[in-house]
Amino acid sequence: MQIKVEDQNQNNNRFLQFALRFGILFLLFFGSAGLVFFLLPYEKASLIANHFAKDGNVEQFSLEIFTRIKIPLLITFTFVSSFLVIAFLRFEATLKVISKGFKFSIGLIKLFKNSWYRLIFDFSHFFDRKIMIGLGLITLVGLILRLFLIHQPMGHDESYTSVIFAFEPLYKGLSDYHFPNNHVFHTFLVHIAYRLFGAQEWAVRLPALISGVLLIPAGFVLAKAWYGRKTAALTAVMIAVFPELINYSVNARGYSLMAFLTLLLFICGTYAKNHRNSAAWFLVGFFGALGFYTLPTMAYPLIVFFVWLGLSWLISDYNIEYHKAEFLGYLFFSGIFTLVLGFALYIPIFKNWGIKSVLANDYTQALSQAIFWPTLQSRLTDTRNMLNQGVIPFIGLLLLIGVLLSFLQFQKIGKNRIPLQITSIIVIGILIAIQRPNVYYRTWIFYIPLLCIWSSAGWFVTIKSIFHDKPESGKLKFSSILTFCLGFIFLLNGLIFTVRLIPSSQNASGDVEKATLFIKDQLNEDDIVVITANNDARMWFYFEKYGLGRGYFSRVKPFENAYVVVTNNTDQTIQSVIKERGPDLVFFDMDSVKKIEQLNTLDIYLIKANTEAVQKAFGDWKK
């Protein structure tokens, strides 16, 4: 019986060797054919290519394309053919290399699979039932607060992002970077939501909403890993009700998504530092690349993250499962993976707009020394105002004091030996000094959840160290009461902030949407609409919402009537709006100007076309 099994194995080996030899010869034939094909002049190569077309003509195979791909493919086919010839002549050696490579790949797959099992197992045992219930309630509060604002009138930037990028066919939206409003991975998600649910405010804000809500449990997980359960609970409350996190959870931009990916980056990095796990290192690179694909400013948390782990490596602050060189290897290759994948995702944009469109556009270029420091001071003031939003005076100062306390007592409160608070501030400070960018406060949305974690830890350990409560059965510790009161202050601030915004956040309450509905009832097929910034993108969105499309905003089409929308609280005039966004003034009969509606900040004018000028330019276009 054993002899039969051995004979069977030998037969299988012979068959595999035959199949491999045949495969090498088969590929060598096509490699050689490709080499010969691209050595031919274009006229003869096109004759051969045309034989493979049904109509006898491959239109796409032009001389320009042939010339462009000839050299790269000649090099490729030469290399492949040479390799296959060597593989056939040294077949036994090739067989050994393939066998070793196969065994190594199987071992690598098993190791990677076991890493995933361990990662999932550890994460599933991270929570108990009480934690799940409490965290679920806090997350529900955060969701409800955001849902109250989900229908607020569309802003300019989110409207522009949606209409110009996300509503376009996917291949266009993911390859257009004429303006850095395109937060590309977020655009991809908004496109899916738009295809599923249409041009609705809540639909285009759905990716930002989901990301903003998931910040709450993600912040809890990271805070618990760093500082423990009680700090994590306070962190979850602060993230759930922090005003600017609420704002950007109902704003169809990529900032809340980038903040969420930042937390996932640090969660996986913390786990990888404390456990020898290749799956966690893979996720570090994956989430880092997705964050960069969302916003190039993800470079800030990425650099902070890798500097933090690099310093941890220097002082051997990692799990003893690692060897010194091994931890550095994981860190290095995860960084390379992040970099390669992040830039690879941008290839369609780099191809169309160049690498400078992402890394050195008008919004990321360095400011001159003369204006950098005044601009930075202004942006810091904006950031301070953002942190202090709400009804509780100096709520942002309360947050920052907690961060300072966490740094002063970092050795008491956490497992990390490198203080990430001060590391992040130093790294970001150095980057800003080198780059000299115009850093809008929204750049730091990703940083707010981390500030909440550090602030919670700082306040909790300080309160606990001041009030040395002795544990008595049935009595609540005074330190716990004070910590609860601190959480209640942030909760109250967030609740009142949201309640005050609710009246202005109802459907169809915005001036631009009301103007759209008014014009919709008057509009004929041969009319146009003329509107300029900052309300133009909003109206484009609402025209999509109500099925009108953007054709009415064309400035190169014949028309009978024009509806000109003027923002009356700026220096706009009918003439300035037409000059900026409409056809030439000669096409308008300015004697027919008539104001037909006023909606708070918007005046709507009806102007008839100059029929003679339109016919002269477009002919008898009504035929």
The 10s digit of each residue's pLDDT in 75-86 is 888 888 888 788
Q: Find the length of the chain.
A: 623
* 305 and 419 fall within a common domain: yes
* Residue 95 counted as domain residue: no
Using the Cα atoms of residue 219, residue 225, residue 226 and residue 232 in order, give the sign of their dihedral: positive
pLDDT at position 34 is: 80
* 332 and 468 fall within a common domain: yes
Q: What's at 583, amino acid-wise?
A: P
How big is the CA angle at 446 (ends 400 and 304), to the nearest 5 degrees? 85
Domain boundary among 477, 503, 529: 503
pLDDT band at 43 (very low <50, low <70, confident <90, very high): confident
pLDDT band at 116 (very low <50, low <70, confident <90, very high): confident
Peptide bond into 534 cis (omega under 30): yes
Coil, strand or helix at 614: helix
CB atoms within 10 A of CB 65: 11
Coil, strand or helix at 350: helix
pLDDT at position 592 is: 93
pLDDT at position 359 is: 84
CB atoms within 10 A of CB 227: 25
Q: 254 near 475, Cβ under 8 Å? A: no
The residue-averaged pLDDT of 2-16 equals: 60
Q: What's at 109, amino acid-wise?
A: I
* 496 and 517 fall within a common domain: no
Q: 327 near 380, Cβ under 8 Å? A: no
pLDDT at position 76 is: 83
The residue-averaged pLDDT of 595-602 equals: 92
* Residue 148 counted as domain residue: yes
Percent of the chain surpassing pLDDT 90: 57
* Residue 116 counted as domain residue: no
Q: How many CA atoms lie within 13 A of 306 on its CB side?
A: 21
What is the tally of structural domains in the chain?
3
- Is residue 512's pLDDT more than 70? yes
- Is residue 476's pLDDT more than 60? no
pLDDT at position 57 is: 67
* Residue 229 counted as domain residue: yes
* 180 and 226 fall within a common domain: yes
Cα(151)–Cα(542) distance, integer angstroms: 13
- Is residue 504's pLDDT more than 90? no
* Residue 543 counted as domain residue: yes
Cα(41)–Cα(349) distance, integer angstroms: 33
Q: Supply the DSSP symbol for 555.
A: S
Q: Which of 21-30, 235-244, 250-259, 541-550 has the lowest mean pLDDT?
A: 21-30
* 225 and 270 fall within a common domain: yes
* Residue 94 counted as domain residue: no
* 518 and 488 fall within a common domain: no
The residue-averaged pLDDT of 558-587 equals: 92
Q: Which of 40-54, 193-207, 357-371, 381-395 has the lowest mean pLDDT?
A: 40-54
State the residue for tokens 């290519």: 49
Q: Which of 279-293, 337-351, 468-482 has the lowest mean pLDDT?
A: 468-482
Cα(490)–Cα(499) distance, integer angstroms: 14
Q: Note the pLDDT tens digit of each residue in 343-359.
A: 999 999 998 898 888 88
Q: Which of 122-126, 208-212, 492-496, 598-602 has the highest mean pLDDT?
A: 208-212
Q: Note the pLDDT tens digit of each residue in 308-347.
A: 999 999 999 999 989 999 999 999 999 999 999 999 999 9
pLDDT at position 448 is: 96
Residue 168 buriedness (CB in 10 A; 0-12 / 13-18 / 19+): middle
* 540 and 430 fall within a common domain: no
Cα(65)–Cα(59) distance, integer angstroms: 11
* 457 and 368 fall within a common domain: yes
pLDDT at position 222 is: 96
More confident residue, 618 or 304: 304
More confident residue, 447 or 53: 447
Q: For the residues of 176-221, what is the DSSP string, one character each? A: --SSTT--HHHHHHHHHHHHHH-S-HHHHTHHHHHHHHHHHHHHHH
Q: Which of 225-239, 290-304, 328-342, 405-419 has the lowest mean pLDDT?
A: 405-419
CB atoms within 10 A of CB 304: 24
* 189 and 324 fall within a common domain: yes
* 526 and 466 fall within a common domain: no
The residue-averaged pLDDT of 62-74 equals: 79
Q: Note the pLDDT tens digit of each residue in 372-424.
A: 889 999 999 999 999 999 888 889 999 999 999 999 888 778 788 899 999 99
- Is residue 473's pLDDT more than 50? no
* 292 and 362 fall within a common domain: yes
Coil, strand or helix at 544: helix
pLDDT at position 474 is: 47
Q: Note the pLDDT tens digit of each residue in 256-269.
A: 999 999 999 999 99
- Is residue 21's pLDDT more than 50? yes
The residue-averaged pLDDT of 238-264 equals: 96
* Residue 462 counted as domain residue: yes
pLDDT at position 84 is: 79
Q: 260 near 214, Cβ under 8 Å? A: yes
More confident residue, 571 or 449: 449
Domain boundary among 503, 535, 558: 503
Q: 296 near 364, Cβ under 8 Å? A: yes
Question: What value does the mean pLDDT of the chain take?
Answer: 88
The reported pTM is 0.84
* Residue 415 counted as domain residue: yes
pLDDT at position 185 is: 97
Domain boundary among 503, 535, 554: 503
* 148 and 23 fall within a common domain: no
E strand or H helix at 574: helix 574-581
Using the Cα atoms of residue 292, residue 294, residue 300 and residue 302 in order, give the sign of their dihedral: negative
Q: Give the domain extent around 475.
A: 131-503
Residue 333 buriedness (CB in 10 A; 0-12 / 13-18 / 19+): middle
Using the Cα atoms of residue 412, residue 414, residue 418 and residue 421 in order, give the sign of their dihedral: negative
E strand or H helix at 594: strand 594-599
